[in-house]
């Protein structure tokens, strides 16, 4: 069987991200159609419908591939890596979307035997399409992008996020406090995939979050790396696919991660 070209995988990721993202944008009037509501989070009917839109595009192009989506009813963790696995977050930033904030996107990555080889992040309301393949430089709306030149944390813009289960007395907030005292500015914009792409295009210098999920970061991780930055899963958290993650322009990476007290996070476990 011949290898599928990375460009073909990327074209499919873009098509699926645009199908899902444009569908969400066009159906915005349905934000009150809530499937599940939590104290600090929400799942809309549109989250599930957009995942279905993306899945249809992906599987009609590549019927034998598997799809791991945020809204999959059954997520099975397995050590056996599929040959090709698509990782989909149909609406990253659902709470923003539900409030009419423009920072939300559709994120789609494809992993070959566990390694991400292509990814697309599409933000319809901000009109940004980020792409990367493992053998090519990242782009935004077709133009090459690069991480910032910022050398030190005190001059850096750090983006972060808090997942729905985090109580302000817990370790993630102590880390937030530490970033706030050491960086030039900390921002919480509410769509991790778009935020990490802002690290890729140099508008921000770093991203950190404990308790984020693989589908939030899979495409953006490759995009930041192929823009010259560094990204890493610091450790795996329970349940499956939940991680502690950092990304940066590379230059401030050690300064950023040195503020993360991993042992306090591991004790907390999320
Ligand atoms: C969320 C957003 C948010 C991050 C949360 C994620 P979702 O994704 O990316 O910025 O802080 O941890 O869960 O739930 O809107 O897809």
**pLDDT of 149 above 80:** yes
Lowest-confidence region among 23-27, 175-179, 197-201? 175-179
Domains in the chain, please, with CATH?
Answer: 6-144 (3.30.540.10), 153-267 (3.40.190.80)
Q: Please give the pLDDT value at position 264.
A: 78
| Mean pLDDT, rounded, for 45-51 | 97
Query: Band of the pLDDT at 172, cuts 50, 70, 90?
Result: confident
Q: Which atom of ligand 1 is nearest to the CA of 162?
A: 11
Supply 35's token pair: 């499937």
Question: pTM here?
Answer: 0.95
Q: In Å, how far from its chain's centre is CA 64?
A: 25
3-state DSSP: the chain helix, strand, coil percent, rounded to 5?
35, 30, 35
Q: Is 192 in the pocket of ligand 1 (CB under 6 A)?
A: yes
Query: Band of the pLDDT at 7, cuts 50, 70, 90?
Result: very high
Q: Is 93 in the pocket of ligand 1 (CB under 6 A)?
A: yes
> For the chain, what is the mean pLDDT?
92
Pocket test for ligand 1, best of 90, 107, 212, 241 (most atoms within 8 A of CB): 212
Q: Please give the pLDDT value at position 72.
A: 80
Q: Which atom of ligand 1 is nearest to the CA of 89?
A: 16
Say how many Å lie between the CA of residue 39 and the centre of ligand 1.
14
Lowest-confidence region among 12-26, 76-90, 102-116, 178-192? 76-90
For residue 83, give the 3-state DSSP assignment: coil
Q: How far apart are CA 191 and CA 59, in angstroms?
A: 26
Nearest to 251 by CA among 144, 172, 146: 146
Q: Which atom of ligand 1 is nearest to the CA of 211?
A: 12
Say how many Å lie between the CA of residue 148 and the centre of ligand 1.
24
Q: Is 47 in the pocket of ligand 1 (CB under 6 A)?
A: no
Say how many Å lie between the CA of residue 252 and the centre of ligand 1.
24
Q: Which atom of ligand 1 is nearest to the CA of 47?
A: 16
Say how many Å lie between the CA of residue 216 and the centre of ligand 1.
7
**pLDDT of 270 above 70:** no
For residue 179, give the 3-state DSSP assignment: helix
Pocket test for ligand 1, best of 42, 47, 92, 194 (most atoms within 8 A of CB): 92
Say how many Å lie between the CA of residue 121 and the centre of ligand 1.
14
Give alpha helix (H) positions in the chain: 6-26, 45-61, 94-99, 171-182, 192-200, 214-225, 253-257, 262-268
Pocket test for ligand 1, best of 34, 54, 191, 197 (most atoms within 8 A of CB): 191
Q: Which atom of ligand 1 is nearest to the CA of 92?
A: 16
């Amino acid at each position: 069987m011949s290898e599928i070209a990375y460009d073909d995988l990327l074209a499919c990721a873009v098509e699926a991200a645009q199908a899902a993202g444009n569908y969400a944008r066009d159906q915005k009037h349905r934000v009150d159609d809530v499937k599940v509501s939590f104290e600090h989070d929400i799942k809309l009917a549109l989250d599930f419908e957009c995942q279905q839109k993306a899945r249809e595009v992906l599987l009609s192009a590549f019927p034998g591939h598997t799809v791991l989506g945020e809204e999959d009813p059954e997520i099975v963790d397995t050590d056996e890596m599929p040959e090709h696995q698509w990782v989909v977050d149909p609406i990253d930033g659902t709470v923003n979307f539900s409030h009419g904030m423009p920072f939300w996107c559709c994120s789609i990555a494809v992993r070959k035997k566990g390694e991400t080889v292509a990814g697309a992040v599409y933000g319809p309301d901000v009109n940004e399409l980020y792409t990367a393949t493992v053998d090519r430089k990242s782009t935004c709306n077709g133009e090459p992008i690069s991480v910032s030149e910022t050398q030190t944390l005190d001059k850096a813009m750090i983006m972060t996020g808090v997942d729905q289960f985090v109580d302000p007395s817990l370790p993630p907030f102590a880390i937030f406090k530490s970033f706030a005292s050491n960086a030039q500015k900390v921002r919480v914009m509410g769509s991790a995939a778009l935020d990490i792409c802002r690290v890729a295009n140099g508008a921000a210098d770093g991203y950190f979050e404990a308790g984020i999920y693989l589908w939030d970061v899979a495409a953006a991780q490759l995009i930041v790396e192929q823009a010259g930055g560094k990204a890493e899963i610091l450790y795996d958290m329970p349940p499956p696919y939940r991680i502690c993650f950092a990304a940066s322009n590379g230059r401030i990476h050690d300064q950023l991660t040195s503020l993360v007290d991993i042992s306090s996070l591991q004790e907390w476990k999320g």
